[in-house]
C-alpha cells in the first residue's frame, strides 16, 4: 500500500510541476494581443496629430480672413471702388497706403511672416491662397467675399464648386480646404 501511495504522490507532484508557468503558445498569444493594442494606440496618436494640425491651420486661416474683413470694413470707399479685387502681392508694405497696404500685409500673413526662424516663415498653412471676389450684391450695398484656400493633410469632402479659391491648386480637391466670409460695405 505504501508503494501505491508513493506512486500517486509522484504523479500528483508531476502534474503540479507542469501546471506552473506559461507555455510558449500562451506567451506568443499574449504578445500578439499586446502588439495589436499598441498598433491601435499608435494609429490613434497619428490621427489625433493630423486632426490637431488641421485645426491649427483652420484657426490661422480664420484669423487671417477676419483680419482682412476688418480692413475692408474700415476702408469702405476703396472697397466700393473695387480696389480690393486682385491678387495680394509684396511683403514690403511700409510705403503703401489704403487697399494696397492691406493686400500687401495680408500677403505677408499668408507667407507666414508673423513667425520667422532664420529665413523660414513658420506661421502659414500649407499652400495658402487668398481671394477677394465680388459677392452677391444686395440693395445699395457692396458685398466682397474674402476666402482662403489651403492644402489639408488628409482627405475630406471636396469644397463646393461655388468656392473657386484655390481650385486646381492642390491636386485632388479632397485635400483643398476653403473658408470664406462675406463682407458687406455701405
pLDDT by residue for the chain (186 residues), tens digit each?
A: 555 555 545 545 555 555 677 899 999 999 999 999 999 999 999 999 999 999 999 999 999 999 999 999 999 999 999 899 877 777 788 899 999 999 999 998 888 876 777 777 777 888 899 999 988 777 888 999 999 999 999 888 888 888 888 888 888 889 999 999 999 998
Q: What pLDDT score does 21 carry?
A: 77
Residue found under cell 472697397: 79
- Cα distance between residue 72 and residue 103, in whole Å: 10
DSSP 53-97: HHHHHHHHHHHHHHHHHHHHHH-HHHHHHTTT-S----S--TT--
Q: Give the C-alpha distances (Å, rounded to integers) separating 96 from 52, 70, 110.
A: 37, 18, 18
Q: What pLDDT score does 181 carry?
A: 94
Indicate whether 144 belongs to any domain.
Answer: yes
Which structural domain, as residue segments, surrounds residue 117? 22-185
Q: What pLDDT score does 9 carry?
A: 52
68, 106 contact by CB (below 8 A): yes
Indicate whether 113 belongs to any domain.
Answer: yes
Indicate whether 14 belongs to any domain.
Answer: no
Domain count, the chain: 1
Indicate whether 27 belongs to any domain.
Answer: yes
Indicate whether 159 belongs to any domain.
Answer: yes
pTM: 0.76
Indicate whether 143 belongs to any domain.
Answer: yes
Indicate whether 2 belongs to any domain.
Answer: no
83, 103 contact by CB (below 8 A): no
Q: What pLDDT score does 137 carry?
A: 79
Q: What pLDDT score does 66 carry?
A: 96
Residue found under cell 494696397: 100
Indicate whether 6 belongs to any domain.
Answer: no
- C-alpha of 168 from chain center: 19
Amino acid at each position: 500500500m505504501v508503494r501505491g501511495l508513493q506512486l500517486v504522490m509522484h504523479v500528483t507532484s508531476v502534474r503540479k510541476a507542469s501546471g506552473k508557468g506559461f507555455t510558449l503558445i500562451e506567451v506568443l498569444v499574449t504578445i500578439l494581443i499586446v502588439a495589436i493594442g499598441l498598433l491601435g494606440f499608435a494609429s490613434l496618436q497619428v490621427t489625433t496629430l493630423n486632426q490637431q494640425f488641421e485645426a491649427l491651420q483652420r484657426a490661422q486661416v480664420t484669423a487671417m480672413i477676419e483680419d482682412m474683413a476688418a480692413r475692408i470694413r474700415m476702408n469702405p470707399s476703396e472697397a466700393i471702388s473695387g480696389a480690393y479685387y486682385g491678387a495680394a502681392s509684396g511683403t514690403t508694405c511700409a510705403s503703401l497706403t489704403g487697399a494696397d497696404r492691406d493686400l500687401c500685409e495680408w500677403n505677408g500673413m499668408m507667407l507666414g511672416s508673423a513667425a520667422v526662424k532664420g529665413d523660414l516663415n513658420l506661421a502659414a498653412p500649407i499652400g495658402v491662397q487668398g481671394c477677394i471676389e465680388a459677392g452677391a450684391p444686395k440693395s445699395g450695398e457692396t458685398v466682397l467675399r474674402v476666402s482662403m484656400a489651403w492644402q489639408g493633410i488628409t482627405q475630406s469632402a471636396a469644397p463646393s464648386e461655388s468656392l473657386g479659391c484655390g481650385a486646381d491648386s492642390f491636386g485632388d480637391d479632397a485635400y483643398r480646404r476653403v473658408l470664406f466670409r462675406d463682407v458687406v460695405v455701405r
